[in-house]
Amino acid sequence: MRYLFSFLLCLSSFASFAQNPKLKIKHLTGDLYVYTSYNTYKGALTDANAVYLVTNKGVVVIDAPWDATQFQPFLDSIQAKHHQKVVLAIATHSHGDRAGGLAFFKSKGIKTYTNKLTDEILKTNKEPRAEYTFTNDTTFTVGQYKINTYYAGKGHTKDNLVVWFPKDKVLFGGCLIKSTEANDLGYIAESDLAAWPKSIENLKQKYPETKFVITGHDAWGNRESLDHTQKLLKEKK
């Protein structure tokens, strides 16, 4: 009985690690995964969605956990789950729920990237910057996959990027796109409300066959979130 109790205790500990309440990982499609982390915003616990792609040459991470205490557990989870290391990380804009992991990732020997606009903002704010930058829309090839960055225009911020996974027709919109659960536009102190609707329209035209749209916060789903974002912007006028 004593040995059985010890076994069950170990099993319980493993389950607790696998179900880390501060970091949730969910398979999306193919080799793509959505991970959700949490932080406090306006006194309330708030989620932040991001994605990673498992290739035969390592894992590509888009953005970073919002909670710095989850940086290492995140890498540990990827290693345990996929037996792969993260080799490349792209931050989609300068806010902490996106670019907050740049210094940590760099310290682990991971190649980090932002667009030039994001780099300029981080430099101005004296915040950690990526090792590499790019100016135009860029295609990254890692292992058997291609990953496209696209700048649709100003919106949530002036530097917000989206990332397109062409094989699976998945659009990671980040904070440029609002969840259908959202009742408002959230933090807009650095937003361009006049340009934002056009940026969403650019996304619709650029990726007409999107199967999944991953939003920066709240529940993610399909192209309905693009329409919902435009609706919220129209109501804001």
Give per-residue pLDDT as tens, 174-195: 999 999 999 999 999 999 999 9
Q: Residue 13: what pLDDT? A: 33
Across residues 55-73, what is the average pLDDT? Answer: 97
Q: Is the pLDDT of residue 54 over 70?
A: yes
Q: Residue 19: what pLDDT? A: 58
Rounded distance between C-alpha atoms, residue 155 and residue 195, angstroms: 6
Q: Residue 202 corresponds to which tokens in the numbers above?
A: 């650019």
Residue 44 region by backbone torsions, left for phi larger than 0, else alpha for psi between -120 and 50, else beta: beta
Q: Is the pLDDT of residue 5 over 70?
A: no
Give per-residue pLDDT as tens, 144-162: 999 999 999 999 999 999 9
Q: Structural domains in the chain?
A: 23-236 (3.60.15.10)
Among residues 62, 78, 89, 98, which one has the least CA distance to residue 25? 78
pTM recorded for the entire structure: 0.90
Residue type, 86: V
Label residue 196 by pLDDT band (50, 70, 90).
very high
